Amino acid sequence: MDISSLVQKNNTKIVFVILDGVGGLPINGKTELEAANKPNLDALARVSACGLHIPVYYGITPGSGPGHFGVFGYDPLQYEIGRGVLEALGLGIELKKTDVALRCNYATIKNGIIVDRRAGRIPTEKNIELTERLSNQIKEIDGVEIILKPGKEHRFCLVMRFPKVINENNAMVTDTDPQKERKPPAEPLALNEESKEVSEIAKKFIKKAEEILKNEERANYVLLRGFSALPHIPSFEEKYALKACSIAVYPMYRGITRLLGMETLPVEGDIKEEVEMLKKVYKDYDFIFVHIKKTDSFGEDGNFEGKIKKIEEFDSFLPEIISLNPDTVVITGDHSTPSLLKAHSWHPVPLLIKSPYVLGGTVNAFTERECLKGELGIIPATAIMPMVLANTLRLRKFGA
């Protein structure tokens, strides 16, 4: 249901926190959330409406893009947006209708086999050096301008700027990242006639980059992901009448929110810096999104203890968020990333909504098993924003 016609404005404040990949699975009987010492999160859960959400659909493992679009109320099956566009926007590249954008990884390859998809998570400083080298030596391919920009750690962005308008069909090319180590990189295959030109340019870029990087110990190869062109999507403010901003360190998440028309605030570092920015801009916005990345990173690395410590670190800053006295606080994840799987998963994600208008008192902690007892039940991610708006009295009654 489109709730736009029911939206009404008021002076309420919403703080919406995503602990990326927060959901987990038990190791030695406990998930990361169950093993973490997080008294503030647990106390907040006890007075909140809790539940679990399904990011895309039953059994579907979401990428970060679909996971975020879902929680922001955009059906990820309707708005299937490539990660390349999100990465480019997040890095501040002003995309044009002539562009195909890709999200890329530096990787380690030996004897034609990928031994590390993330090149050991090379330092961002090394990424900057390598990307500058590639930029200086690959300026165009077959008359198409090549634009490169470094991201965090092993990630960088590639934009192919054509001398003609591009549509989403032109960007229908398969990823070269096999998603697992000990496999050869895949070919960038065109999925239709219109995307063959992009596919050929991608192949040539990979070959040129491999030659330039051949003497690097770790980052000696590039993997291309998320071929995409700029789509049309209604803005967050059009949809919900909320003046919104985002506080996120990693480019992709800045890109998601920039695509939705949120103001993306520059922040470096981690949770401490993000909370400081939240306090600084709190009075200026109706809706403030705060993204915490490292819970997901540790889950992908299979680092159970690291993920626990990041949850505990966030917990230590939670009182500073609550002290701002927002009308509604939302804490959830965009998807689950169990350390057990070292990957995103299809499992429902814990969700907490704190408002004066919830039942509360149904759970004892913010964990997967406790949230299963909560008043929200298991809901689709797209239902979160209507519930948030209702709990800030921003939805009118439907019908007579």
In this prediction, residue 94 carries a pLDDT of 79
In this prediction, residue 211 carries a pLDDT of 94
In this prediction, residue 278 carries a pLDDT of 97
Phi, psi of 4 (to 5 degrees): -55, -35
CB 56 within 8 A of CB 70: yes
Domain annotation for the chain: domains and CATH numbers: 4-77+233-391 (3.40.720.10), 85-228 (no CATH)
The pLDDT profile of the chain, 400 residues, written as one tens digit per residue, is 789 999 999 999 999 999 999 999 999 999 999 999 999 999 999 999 999 999 999 999 998 889 999 999 999 988 877 778 888 887 878 788 899 999 999 999 999 999 999 998 999 999 999 999 999 999 999 999 999 999 888 999 999 999 999 888 899 999 999 988 899 999 999 999 999 999 999 999 999 999 999 999 899 999 999 999 988 888 999 999 999 999 999 877 888 898 899 999 989 888 999 999 999 999 999 999 999 999 999 999 999 999 999 999 999 999 999 999 999 999 999 999 999 999 999 999 999 999 999 999 999 999 999 999 999 999 999 999 999 999 999 999 998 7
Residues 84 and 87: their CA atoms lie apart, in Å, by 5
In this prediction, residue 195 carries a pLDDT of 94
Residues 394 and 385: their CA atoms lie apart, in Å, by 11
For β-strands 144-150 and 140-141, DSSP reports them as antiparallel
Residues 379 and 366: their CA atoms lie apart, in Å, by 17
In this prediction, residue 337 carries a pLDDT of 97
In this prediction, residue 348 carries a pLDDT of 98
Residues 110 and 184: their CA atoms lie apart, in Å, by 9
In this prediction, residue 10 carries a pLDDT of 96
Q: Which two tokens stand for residue 68?
A: 């975020």
Q: Which residues contact 148 (CB under 8 A, 6 or more apart)?
A: 131, 134, 135, 138, 156, 157, 158, 159
Looking at residue 159, the DSSP 8-state letter turns out to be: E
Secondary structure of residue 31 in the 3-state scheme: coil
In this prediction, residue 185 carries a pLDDT of 93
Give the angle subtended at the CA of 81 by the CAs of 285 and 295, to the nearest 5°.
65
In this prediction, residue 379 carries a pLDDT of 98
In this prediction, residue 138 carries a pLDDT of 96
**Helix 304-322 × helix 39-46 angle, to 10°:** 60
Looking at residue 282, the DSSP 8-state letter turns out to be: G
CB 315 within 8 A of CB 25: no
Q: What is the Cα Rg of the chain in Å?
A: 21
Q: Which two tokens stand for residue 115?
A: 């031994």
Q: Which residues on adjacent β-strands are paired with residue 292? A: 19
Q: How far is CA 189 from the centre of its chain?
A: 25
